[in-house]
Amino acid sequence: MDTASFCDSVRDEAGGWDRAGTLPAEVVTTMAGAGFLSADLPVRYGGTARTQAELGELCARLGGVCSALRALATVQGMVAAAVLRWGTPEQRDRWLPGLARGEPVAGFAATEAGAGSDLSAVTSALEVAPGGFRLRGQKLWVTFGQCAGVFLVLAMLDGQPVAVLVEADRPGVEVCPVGGQLGLRAAGLADVRFDGVPVPAENLLAPPGFGLSHVTGTALDHGRYTVAWGCVGMAETCLGLAAGHAARRTQGGVRLSGHQAVRALLGRCLAEAGAARRACAHAAAVRDFAEPDAVVQTVLAKYTAARAASAVSEAAVQIHGAAGCAADSPVGRFFRDARVMRIIEGSDEVAEQHLGDYALRRRT
Protein backbone atom coordinates (compact mmCIF):
# COMPACT_ATOMS: atom_id res chain seq x y z
CA MET A 1 0.00 0.00 0.00
CA ASP A 2 1.35 3.47 -0.81
CA THR A 3 1.54 6.22 1.79
CA ALA A 4 -1.33 8.33 0.42
CA SER A 5 -3.74 5.35 0.23
CA PHE A 6 -2.83 4.25 3.74
CA CYS A 7 -3.29 7.76 5.14
CA ASP A 8 -6.65 8.17 3.38
CA SER A 9 -7.81 4.80 4.71
CA VAL A 10 -7.11 5.66 8.36
CA ARG A 11 -7.65 9.45 8.55
CA ASP A 12 -11.10 9.12 10.15
CA GLU A 13 -9.86 6.58 12.71
CA ALA A 14 -7.26 8.79 14.39
CA GLY A 15 -9.65 10.48 16.84
CA GLY A 16 -10.93 7.10 18.04
CA TRP A 17 -7.39 5.80 18.55
CA ASP A 18 -6.59 8.92 20.55
CA ARG A 19 -9.57 8.26 22.83
CA ALA A 20 -8.77 4.53 23.10
CA GLY A 21 -5.12 5.28 23.96
CA THR A 22 -3.76 2.75 21.49
CA LEU A 23 -3.34 1.80 17.85
CA PRO A 24 -5.02 -1.43 16.68
CA ALA A 25 -2.56 -4.29 16.15
CA GLU A 26 -3.56 -4.58 12.48
CA VAL A 27 -2.37 -1.03 11.84
CA VAL A 28 1.10 -2.03 13.00
CA THR A 29 0.96 -5.03 10.67
CA THR A 30 -0.23 -2.90 7.74
CA MET A 31 2.46 -0.28 8.30
CA ALA A 32 5.16 -2.94 8.56
CA GLY A 33 3.88 -4.66 5.41
CA ALA A 34 3.98 -1.36 3.51
CA GLY A 35 7.59 -0.79 4.56
CA PHE A 36 6.77 2.25 6.72
CA LEU A 37 8.68 0.86 9.73
CA SER A 38 11.90 0.28 7.84
CA ALA A 39 11.89 3.12 5.37
CA ASP A 40 15.59 3.97 5.43
CA LEU A 41 16.96 0.52 6.31
CA PRO A 42 19.06 -1.18 3.61
CA VAL A 43 17.19 -3.71 1.46
CA ARG A 44 19.44 -6.54 2.70
CA TYR A 45 17.90 -6.11 6.17
CA GLY A 46 14.32 -6.01 4.86
CA GLY A 47 14.16 -2.24 4.53
CA THR A 48 13.05 -0.11 1.59
CA ALA A 49 16.23 2.02 1.45
CA ARG A 50 14.44 5.33 1.02
CA THR A 51 16.43 8.54 0.85
CA GLN A 52 16.24 10.94 3.78
CA ALA A 53 13.88 13.17 1.81
CA GLU A 54 11.59 10.19 1.11
CA LEU A 55 11.70 9.13 4.76
CA GLY A 56 10.85 12.71 5.71
CA GLU A 57 7.89 12.88 3.34
CA LEU A 58 6.57 9.58 4.71
CA CYS A 59 6.74 10.96 8.26
CA ALA A 60 5.10 14.24 7.20
CA ARG A 61 2.18 12.30 5.72
CA LEU A 62 1.82 10.04 8.75
CA GLY A 63 2.17 12.98 11.14
CA GLY A 64 -0.44 14.91 9.19
CA VAL A 65 -2.95 12.17 10.00
CA CYS A 66 -2.00 10.86 13.45
CA SER A 67 1.08 11.51 15.59
CA ALA A 68 0.99 7.97 16.97
CA LEU A 69 1.42 6.54 13.45
CA ARG A 70 4.45 8.76 12.94
CA ALA A 71 5.70 7.84 16.44
CA LEU A 72 5.57 4.13 15.57
CA ALA A 73 7.76 4.73 12.52
CA THR A 74 10.00 6.97 14.64
CA VAL A 75 10.67 4.55 17.49
CA GLN A 76 11.15 1.54 15.24
CA GLY A 77 13.53 3.63 13.12
CA MET A 78 15.46 4.89 16.17
CA VAL A 79 16.21 1.41 17.45
CA ALA A 80 16.99 0.07 13.97
CA ALA A 81 19.32 3.01 13.27
CA ALA A 82 21.22 2.32 16.51
CA VAL A 83 21.59 -1.39 15.67
CA LEU A 84 22.60 -0.62 12.06
CA ARG A 85 25.24 1.92 13.12
CA TRP A 86 26.62 0.27 16.28
CA GLY A 87 25.68 -3.41 16.07
CA THR A 88 28.07 -6.16 15.06
CA PRO A 89 27.27 -7.98 11.78
CA GLU A 90 25.71 -10.76 13.90
CA GLN A 91 23.56 -8.27 15.82
CA ARG A 92 22.40 -6.61 12.59
CA ASP A 93 21.45 -9.97 11.08
CA ARG A 94 19.66 -10.99 14.25
CA TRP A 95 17.63 -7.84 14.92
CA LEU A 96 17.14 -5.74 11.79
CA PRO A 97 14.95 -8.01 9.60
CA GLY A 98 12.52 -8.46 12.52
CA LEU A 99 12.46 -4.74 13.28
CA ALA A 100 11.69 -4.07 9.60
CA ARG A 101 8.68 -6.43 9.85
CA GLY A 102 7.47 -4.86 13.10
CA GLU A 103 8.17 -8.16 14.85
CA PRO A 104 9.01 -7.10 17.46
CA VAL A 105 7.76 -3.56 17.93
CA ALA A 106 10.63 -1.68 19.58
CA GLY A 107 10.71 0.70 22.55
CA PHE A 108 13.41 3.27 23.34
CA ALA A 109 13.91 3.35 27.11
CA ALA A 110 16.19 6.19 28.22
CA THR A 111 14.21 8.58 30.43
CA GLU A 112 14.11 8.05 34.20
CA ALA A 113 12.65 10.03 37.09
CA GLY A 114 15.95 11.85 37.60
CA ALA A 115 17.21 11.80 34.01
CA GLY A 116 15.27 13.51 31.21
CA SER A 117 17.07 16.31 29.39
CA ASP A 118 20.31 15.16 31.03
CA LEU A 119 20.56 11.47 30.21
CA SER A 120 24.05 11.22 31.72
CA ALA A 121 22.20 11.05 35.07
CA VAL A 122 20.57 7.64 34.42
CA THR A 123 20.88 5.24 37.35
CA SER A 124 19.64 2.02 35.72
CA ALA A 125 22.47 -0.40 36.32
CA LEU A 126 23.87 -3.29 34.31
CA GLU A 127 25.93 -5.70 36.39
CA VAL A 128 28.13 -8.50 35.13
CA ALA A 129 26.51 -11.91 35.78
CA PRO A 130 27.19 -15.47 34.56
CA GLY A 131 26.62 -15.54 30.75
CA GLY A 132 26.16 -11.80 30.51
CA PHE A 133 24.53 -9.19 32.72
CA ARG A 134 21.66 -8.34 35.04
CA LEU A 135 19.68 -5.12 34.60
CA ARG A 136 17.99 -3.11 37.34
CA GLY A 137 16.20 0.18 36.91
CA GLN A 138 13.00 2.01 36.14
CA LYS A 139 12.33 3.75 32.83
CA LEU A 140 9.50 6.23 32.25
CA TRP A 141 7.46 7.44 29.28
CA VAL A 142 8.38 4.65 26.88
CA THR A 143 6.46 5.23 23.64
CA PHE A 144 4.74 1.98 22.56
CA GLY A 145 6.10 0.44 25.77
CA GLN A 146 2.74 -1.33 26.15
CA CYS A 147 3.25 -3.46 23.04
CA ALA A 148 7.03 -3.41 22.55
CA GLY A 149 8.73 -6.79 22.27
CA VAL A 150 12.20 -5.34 22.78
CA PHE A 151 13.60 -2.26 24.49
CA LEU A 152 16.78 -0.38 23.73
CA VAL A 153 17.81 0.52 27.28
CA LEU A 154 20.34 3.14 28.38
CA ALA A 155 22.06 2.09 31.61
CA MET A 156 25.38 2.34 33.45
CA LEU A 157 27.98 -0.42 33.76
CA ASP A 158 30.81 0.31 36.22
CA GLY A 159 30.19 4.04 35.79
CA GLN A 160 30.18 3.87 31.97
CA PRO A 161 27.05 4.43 29.83
CA VAL A 162 25.92 1.33 27.95
CA ALA A 163 23.04 0.46 25.64
CA VAL A 164 21.45 -2.99 25.69
CA LEU A 165 18.61 -4.67 23.87
CA VAL A 166 16.24 -6.29 26.36
CA GLU A 167 13.39 -8.54 25.24
CA ALA A 168 10.11 -7.69 26.97
CA ASP A 169 9.42 -11.34 27.86
CA ARG A 170 12.55 -11.74 29.99
CA PRO A 171 11.89 -12.49 33.68
CA GLY A 172 11.89 -9.32 35.76
CA VAL A 173 10.49 -6.97 33.08
CA GLU A 174 7.36 -5.22 34.32
CA VAL A 175 5.36 -2.96 32.00
CA CYS A 176 3.03 -0.38 33.61
CA PRO A 177 0.74 1.33 31.06
CA VAL A 178 0.62 5.14 31.11
CA GLY A 179 -2.41 6.96 29.75
CA GLY A 180 -4.22 10.30 29.75
CA GLN A 181 -1.11 12.34 29.00
CA LEU A 182 -1.47 15.64 27.12
CA GLY A 183 -0.62 14.27 23.69
CA LEU A 184 0.49 11.21 21.71
CA ARG A 185 -2.33 9.40 23.48
CA ALA A 186 -2.62 6.59 20.95
CA ALA A 187 1.06 5.72 21.31
CA GLY A 188 0.54 3.13 24.09
CA LEU A 189 3.05 4.63 26.52
CA ALA A 190 4.38 2.70 29.50
CA ASP A 191 6.77 2.92 32.39
CA VAL A 192 9.03 -0.14 32.40
CA ARG A 193 10.71 -1.68 35.43
CA PHE A 194 13.72 -3.99 35.11
CA ASP A 195 14.14 -6.03 38.28
CA GLY A 196 17.33 -8.05 38.02
CA VAL A 197 16.59 -8.96 34.39
CA PRO A 198 19.11 -11.46 32.91
CA VAL A 199 20.57 -10.04 29.68
CA PRO A 200 22.91 -12.15 27.49
CA ALA A 201 26.30 -10.65 26.61
CA GLU A 202 25.38 -10.58 22.90
CA ASN A 203 22.60 -8.02 23.61
CA LEU A 204 25.12 -5.28 24.48
CA LEU A 205 25.37 -2.75 21.64
CA ALA A 206 28.83 -1.17 21.19
CA PRO A 207 31.51 -1.16 23.89
CA PRO A 208 30.93 0.25 27.41
CA GLY A 209 31.30 4.03 27.29
CA PHE A 210 29.52 4.32 23.90
CA GLY A 211 25.97 3.88 25.24
CA LEU A 212 25.03 7.55 25.52
CA SER A 213 27.12 9.63 23.11
CA HIS A 214 27.14 7.05 20.33
CA VAL A 215 24.24 4.56 20.51
CA THR A 216 21.65 6.82 22.18
CA GLY A 217 23.00 9.74 20.14
CA THR A 218 22.34 7.88 16.89
CA ALA A 219 18.84 6.88 18.00
CA LEU A 220 17.92 10.41 19.12
CA ASP A 221 19.29 11.98 15.94
CA HIS A 222 17.08 9.67 13.87
CA GLY A 223 14.13 10.35 16.17
CA ARG A 224 14.58 14.11 15.96
CA TYR A 225 14.62 13.98 12.17
CA THR A 226 11.40 11.98 11.86
CA VAL A 227 9.63 14.02 14.57
CA ALA A 228 10.61 17.18 12.67
CA TRP A 229 8.94 15.96 9.49
CA GLY A 230 5.94 14.73 11.45
CA CYS A 231 5.57 18.29 12.73
CA VAL A 232 5.64 19.60 9.14
CA GLY A 233 2.69 17.31 8.39
CA MET A 234 0.83 18.47 11.50
CA ALA A 235 1.37 22.13 10.62
CA GLU A 236 0.27 21.66 7.01
CA THR A 237 -2.83 19.67 7.97
CA CYS A 238 -3.82 22.25 10.58
CA LEU A 239 -3.30 25.07 8.09
CA GLY A 240 -5.54 23.32 5.56
CA LEU A 241 -8.25 22.65 8.16
CA ALA A 242 -8.09 26.25 9.44
CA ALA A 243 -8.28 27.74 5.95
CA GLY A 244 -11.17 25.43 5.03
CA HIS A 245 -13.11 26.37 8.15
CA ALA A 246 -12.43 30.10 7.63
CA ALA A 247 -13.68 29.85 4.05
CA ARG A 248 -16.90 28.01 5.06
CA ARG A 249 -17.99 29.49 8.38
CA THR A 250 -20.13 32.63 8.38
CA GLN A 251 -20.80 34.89 11.39
CA GLY A 252 -22.84 38.10 11.26
CA GLY A 253 -23.29 37.60 7.54
CA VAL A 254 -19.53 37.62 6.92
CA ARG A 255 -17.27 34.63 6.23
CA LEU A 256 -14.44 34.28 8.75
CA SER A 257 -12.06 34.55 5.80
CA GLY A 258 -13.53 38.00 5.12
CA HIS A 259 -11.85 39.32 8.26
CA GLN A 260 -8.39 40.76 7.75
CA ALA A 261 -7.35 39.47 11.20
CA VAL A 262 -8.19 35.89 10.23
CA ARG A 263 -6.39 36.15 6.88
CA ALA A 264 -3.33 37.58 8.64
CA LEU A 265 -3.32 34.67 11.08
CA LEU A 266 -3.52 32.24 8.16
CA GLY A 267 -0.67 34.09 6.49
CA ARG A 268 1.52 33.71 9.58
CA CYS A 269 0.65 30.00 9.66
CA LEU A 270 1.61 29.62 6.00
CA ALA A 271 4.97 31.25 6.72
CA GLU A 272 5.58 29.01 9.77
CA ALA A 273 4.67 25.79 7.96
CA GLY A 274 6.76 26.76 4.93
CA ALA A 275 9.81 27.60 7.02
CA ALA A 276 9.48 24.26 8.82
CA ARG A 277 9.31 22.35 5.53
CA ARG A 278 12.36 24.16 4.17
CA ALA A 279 14.38 23.53 7.36
CA CYS A 280 13.51 19.83 7.14
CA ALA A 281 14.34 19.67 3.42
CA HIS A 282 17.72 21.22 4.14
CA ALA A 283 18.33 18.67 6.91
CA ALA A 284 17.38 15.89 4.46
CA ALA A 285 19.92 17.11 1.92
CA VAL A 286 22.81 17.32 4.38
CA ARG A 287 21.89 13.95 5.92
CA ASP A 288 21.84 12.21 2.54
CA PHE A 289 25.41 13.34 1.99
CA ALA A 290 26.41 12.73 5.64
CA GLU A 291 27.77 16.27 5.86
CA PRO A 292 29.40 17.31 9.15
CA ASP A 293 26.53 19.73 9.85
CA ALA A 294 23.89 16.99 9.61
CA VAL A 295 23.31 16.64 13.36
CA VAL A 296 22.96 20.37 14.04
CA GLN A 297 20.78 20.93 10.96
CA THR A 298 18.53 18.15 12.25
CA VAL A 299 18.29 19.89 15.63
CA LEU A 300 17.44 23.13 13.81
CA ALA A 301 14.80 21.38 11.70
CA LYS A 302 13.17 19.74 14.71
CA TYR A 303 13.20 22.98 16.72
CA THR A 304 11.71 24.97 13.83
CA ALA A 305 9.12 22.37 12.90
CA ALA A 306 7.94 21.62 16.45
CA ARG A 307 7.42 25.32 17.12
CA ALA A 308 5.62 25.69 13.78
CA ALA A 309 3.30 22.74 14.51
CA SER A 310 2.58 24.21 17.92
CA ALA A 311 1.87 27.72 16.59
CA VAL A 312 -0.19 26.61 13.58
CA SER A 313 -2.27 24.12 15.56
CA GLU A 314 -2.96 26.79 18.18
CA ALA A 315 -4.08 29.20 15.45
CA ALA A 316 -6.23 26.44 13.94
CA VAL A 317 -7.99 25.93 17.28
CA GLN A 318 -8.54 29.70 17.52
CA ILE A 319 -10.05 29.90 14.03
CA HIS A 320 -12.32 26.92 14.74
CA GLY A 321 -13.60 28.53 17.94
CA ALA A 322 -15.56 26.13 20.15
CA ALA A 323 -15.44 23.52 17.36
CA GLY A 324 -11.67 23.42 17.89
CA CYS A 325 -12.17 22.69 21.59
CA ALA A 326 -14.61 19.79 21.08
CA ALA A 327 -13.61 16.33 22.28
CA ASP A 328 -13.41 14.98 18.73
CA SER A 329 -11.73 18.01 17.12
CA PRO A 330 -8.77 17.02 14.91
CA VAL A 331 -7.16 20.45 15.37
CA GLY A 332 -7.58 20.10 19.14
CA ARG A 333 -5.78 16.73 18.97
CA PHE A 334 -2.98 18.18 16.83
CA PHE A 335 -2.68 21.11 19.28
CA ARG A 336 -2.14 18.70 22.20
CA ASP A 337 0.24 16.50 20.21
CA ALA A 338 2.23 19.46 18.88
CA ARG A 339 2.86 20.77 22.37
CA VAL A 340 4.51 17.46 23.28
CA MET A 341 6.84 17.76 20.28
CA ARG A 342 8.51 20.77 21.92
CA ILE A 343 9.53 18.57 24.86
CA ILE A 344 10.48 15.19 23.40
CA GLU A 345 13.66 14.37 21.42
CA GLY A 346 15.38 17.42 22.93
CA SER A 347 13.23 20.23 24.34
CA ASP A 348 13.16 23.74 22.87
CA GLU A 349 15.56 24.93 25.56
CA VAL A 350 18.06 22.11 25.04
CA ALA A 351 17.95 22.70 21.27
CA GLU A 352 18.55 26.44 21.79
CA GLN A 353 21.69 25.65 23.81
CA HIS A 354 22.91 23.35 21.06
CA LEU A 355 22.16 25.91 18.34
CA GLY A 356 23.69 28.74 20.37
CA ASP A 357 26.91 26.75 20.81
CA TYR A 358 26.93 26.16 17.03
CA ALA A 359 26.46 29.87 16.34
CA LEU A 360 29.43 30.65 18.58
CA ARG A 361 31.63 28.00 16.93
CA ARG A 362 31.03 29.36 13.42
CA ARG A 363 31.35 33.09 14.29
CA THR A 364 33.65 34.98 11.97
Ligand X SMILES: Cc1cc2nc3c(=O)[nH]c(=O)nc-3n(C[C@H](O)[C@H](O)[C@H](O)COP(=O)(O)OP(=O)(O)OC[C@H]3O[C@@H](n4cnc5c(N)ncnc54)[C@H](O)[C@@H]3O)c2cc1C
Give me the residues that bind ligand X (CB under 6 A), please: 108-111, 116-117, 141-143, 181, 184, 189, 340, 343-344, 347, 349-350, 353
- Of 184 and 256, the one with the shorter C-beta distance to ligand X is 184
Are the C-beta atoms of residues 274 and 324 closer than 8 Å to each other?
Answer: no
* Residue closest to ligand X when measured from CB atoms: 116
Query: How far is residue 305's CA from residue 159's CA, in Å, rounded to a whole number?
Result: 36
**CB 17 to ligand X: min, Å:** 14
**CB 181 to ligand X: min, Å:** 5
The one-letter code for the residue type at 215 is: V
CB atoms within 10 A of CB 325: 12
**CB 95 to ligand X: min, Å:** 18
Query: How far is residue 152's CA from residue 12's CA, in Å, rounded to a whole number?
Result: 32
- Of 163 and 262, the one with the shorter C-beta distance to ligand X is 163
Query: How far is residue 40's CA from residue 25's CA, in Å, rounded to a whole number?
Result: 23
Question: CA 141, 142, 145 angle in degrees (round to 5)?
Answer: 130
CB atoms within 10 A of CB 231: 37
**CB 236 to ligand X: min, Å:** 22
**CB 87 to ligand X: min, Å:** 20
**CB 52 to ligand X: min, Å:** 22
Question: CA 252, 256, 260 angle in degrees (round to 5)?
Answer: 110
- In the chain the beta strands, taken as DSSP E runs, fall at 106-109, 125-129, 132-142, 150-157, 160-167, 173-177, 190-200, 204-205, 250-251, 254-255
- Residue 187 exposure: Cα atoms within 13 Å on the Cβ side: 28
**CB 356 to ligand X: min, Å:** 10
**CB 80 to ligand X: min, Å:** 14
Are the C-beta atoms of residues 183 and 337 closer than 8 Å to each other?
Answer: yes
**CB 86 to ligand X: min, Å:** 17
Reduce the secondary structure of 208-272 to three states and give it as a string. Answer: CCCHHHHHHHHHHHHHHHHHHHHHHHHHHHHHHHHHHHHHHCEECCEEHHHCHHHHHHHHHHHHH
DSSP-derived 3-state class of residue 347: coil
**CB 267 to ligand X: min, Å:** 29
Rg (the chain; Cα; Å): 21
Burial class (CB in 10 A: 0-12, 13-18, 19+), 114: exposed
Q: What is the DSSP letter of 297?
A: H
Query: How far is residue 98's CA from residue 80's CA, in Å, rounded to a whole number?
Result: 10
